Structure 1
Amino acid sequence: MLRLGRLALPSVLLVSLTLVACSKGEADGRATFDVVAKVNDREIQSNELKTVLEHGSAASGAIEGRPAEKVLERLIDQELMVQQARDRRLDKDPRVLYSIEAARREILARAYLEQVTSESVPPSEAEIAAFYRDNPALFAERRIYSLQELQLPSLGERFDELRLQVEQAVGLQQVTEWLEAERIAYHLVSAVKPAEELPLESLPAFARMKDGQLMISQSDKGVSLIHLAASHLKPIGEKEARPLIERYISNSRKVELARSELKRLRAGAEIEYAQGGEPEVDAARLALEHHQSAAE
């Protein structure tokens, strides 16, 4: 429903399975768990299966049927491959060692930010009610949009020519005819989207559009020309929207906490760049990349 950009971390299930499989040899002398399977001389314990079920299955997609048994079979398959990899000394390969270390860093960084963001305060009833009231395009005046989008490369100085054509056009076909006459390439995409699937920052502009209208914008990636072919109202009541709003606000707060923590860590660290200079860092993007509890 309400989504805040979710950037998946690389192959979480595979990483989880790999770390579980590789860490067993390091667990000697620690607490023992029930053995759920044995592959040659290697035991797979219940805590390994539980770890993958809790942290891996969600990222790998829904597992139908009996998830525990299916994940166990995956663990067995992977253990067989791990044993073969060790026989071939792939665990000594520098590329493999680097990948394991990269996965370890990623998991530790994510665990740290998850701990930091767990301290966020849940939204109050007043905040939830205010969010519903302040975003009618998402709820009380929610629409389903039938859209056609022309995607064009950056046009430079010719963008003003296209914008004039859009302002004077009576429909999308008139614009496409002009583009073809000028030999300007474009790609047409059609989609039906509810309000919550549109970018939140652009939703007010969509809400103001009437059926048949055109909207043009330009960015570093190129030009986007959107035609609202049709739309219809399908509102959501406050009671139905409440859990969605609560998750969205909670997630937004977690992202802000992650962003602030990354800024704090950078401010207190000594960072030197080998090539000299200091590249611009988007702390918000880094926070999103490390934070994976986005609302859905």
Structure 2
Amino acid sequence: MRPMSPLKTPAPILISCLALSLALSGCGKKATGQVAAVVNGDEITLQEVNAELGNAKIPEGAEKDKARGILIQRLVDKRLLEQQAKAAGLDRDPDFLNRQRQLSQGLLLEFYAKRAQDTLRVPDQAAITKFIGDHPTNFAGRTIYTVDQLRFTPPSDTSVIAKMKDLHSLDAIAQYLEGRGVKVARGANKIDSAQVPAAMMQQVLALPPGEPFIVPTPQGIVASVIVSKETAPLSPEQAQPLAVQMMRAQALDAVVQQRLKDARAKAKIEYQPGFTPPAAPK
């Protein structure tokens, strides 16, 4: 007699059992304690609900229980759409993964900066007074400048921007850019010297009258010319908190830059040929 072979579960039954076990794995989760709701096995926590409540800015006198119910439904709907997106495989899309990495990195750096800021010493009154005196354009000499501006997206040809240094009026820059197919938006704006780093403000004020100054921004490049100004000194009551804010920002930047310098010195970094960044200025 041949030995009996072990019973084999037919493949379709095995697959069905696996699907059932996965479906049942979420059945044990209950909407209780710190869990406000369970959506197809995914928990929505009280922490998430409270975060939504905090961001909702519910007006005084509103029914909090009703508002909370509306926000929970919104969270449930978001979770359902999220589950559908995952089922469609969008969470594995390369563009999604890259964007997710960027958002995660930005949030992590924000928390890192906040943790570093919490270690900074609060400046004393003598240091604050000295800082205010050392930065007149931000405080006693504060000035509001009206400027004529050109805004445009930087062209892919970097030589176009490099040649702008030889142009000495906003009209000449506008004509030059438009002649090369660069779309330009022109309009008036205000610049508050209290919101501009003192060193940058001194460079702008050192230019001849009517000479454009060009500043890259996250939204594009801005070329400006000062057309008028109005003095608007800050009172001591206004200057004090602004000075503390600026001093802490400078101190935080110094801490982060030092940590970055130390990390670079210890890191092992390898670049593919052609991707090596330019050497930092000494």
Instruction: Give the TM bin, normalised by the shorter chain.
Output: 0.5 to 0.7
Q: Report what 2:129 is aligned to.
A: 129
Long gaps (5+) in structure 2 = 1-24, 153-159, 179-183
Aligned residue pairs: how many? 231
* Amino acid across the alignment from 1:121: R
In structure 2, C-alpha distance between the alignment counterparts of 1:278 and 1:137, rounded to whole Å:
39
Q: What is the CA deviation profile of residues 134-191 of structure 1, one whole-angstrom value per residue up to 9, with x for unaligned ones?
A: 22222212222222236796474982xx54xx6xxxxxxxx84xx49xx645754311
Q: Report what 1:259 is aligned to.
A: 257
Q: Report what 1:115 is aligned to.
A: 115
Q: Report what 1:194 is aligned to.
A: 192
Q: Report what 2:234 is aligned to.
A: 236
1:49 has 2:42 as partner: no
Relative contact order (alpha carbons < 8 A, sep ≥ 6): 1 or 2 greater?
1
Give % identity. Answer: 23
Q: Report what 2:58 is aligned to.
A: 65
* Amino acid across the alignment from 1:247: Q
User: Are the counterparts in 2 of residues 148 and 189 from structure 1 also a CA contact under 8 Å?
Assistant: yes
User: Are the counterparts in 1 of residues 138 and 196 from structure 2 also a CA contact under 8 Å?
Assistant: no
Q: What is the CA deviation profile of residues 217-270 of structure 1, one whole-angstrom value per residue up to 9, with x for unaligned ones?
A: 4689989451x3322222111222111111121122112111111111121122
In structure 1, C-alpha distance between the alignment counterparts of 2:236 and 2:41, rounded to whole Å:
58
User: Are the counterparts in 2 of residues 151 and 223 from structure 1 also a CA contact under 8 Å?
Assistant: yes
Q: Spell out the pairing of 1:1-296 with structure 2 (5 A cutoff).
A: 33-39=33-39, 41-50=41-50, 57=55, 63-65=56-58, 69=68, 72=72, 74-91=74-91, 93=93, 96=96, 100=100, 103-149=103-149, 154=161, 156=163, 159=166, 162-163=167-168, 176=171, 179=172, 184-185=176-177, 188-198=186-196, 200-205=198-203, 213-217=209-213, 224=223, 226=225, 228-275=226-273, 278-280=276-278
CA shift in 2, pair 1:121/1:275, >3 Å: same
CA shift in 2, pair 1:150/1:88, >3 Å: closer
CA RMSD of aligned residues (A): 4.4
Tell me which moved more, 186-195 or 119-128. 186-195
* Amino acid across the alignment from 1:192: K
Larger radius of gyration: 2
Q: TM-score by structure 1 length? A: 0.59
What secondary structure does 1:280 align onto?
Answer: coil
What secondary structure does 2:250 align onto?
Answer: helix
Q: What is the CA deviation profile of residues 103-161 of structure 1, one whole-angstrom value per residue up to 9, with x for unaligned ones?
A: 445544543443334322222211211121122222212222222236796474982xx
In structure 1, C-alpha distance between the alignment counterparts of 2:165 and 2:94, rounded to whole Å:
51
User: Are the counterparts in 1 of residues 91 and 97 from structure 2 also a CA contact under 8 Å?
Assistant: yes
User: Are the counterparts in 2 of residues 147 and 230 from structure 1 also a CA contact under 8 Å?
Assistant: yes
In structure 2, C-alpha distance between the alignment counterparts of 1:198 and 1:50, rounded to whole Å:
37
Tell me which moved more, 93-102 or 246-255. 93-102
Long gaps (5+) in structure 1 = 1-24, 58-62, 167-174, 284-296
Q: Report what 1:172 is aligned to.
A: none
* Amino acid across the alignment from 1:80: L
Q: TM-score by structure 2 length? A: 0.61
* Amino acid across the alignment from 1:119: T
User: Are the counterparts in 2 of residues 137 and 207 from structure 1 also a CA contact under 8 Å?
Assistant: no
CA shift in 2, pair 1:208/1:257, >3 Å: same
Q: What is the CA deviation profile of residues 37-63 of structure 1, one whole-angstrom value per residue up to 9, with x for unaligned ones?
A: 444554311123345677xx5xxxxx5
In structure 2, C-alpha distance between the alignment counterparts of 1:110 and 1:150, rounded to whole Å:
32
User: Are the counterparts in 1 of residues 138 and 195 from structure 2 also a CA contact under 8 Å?
Assistant: no
User: Are the counterparts in 2 of residues 33 and 45 from structure 1 also a CA contact under 8 Å?
Assistant: no
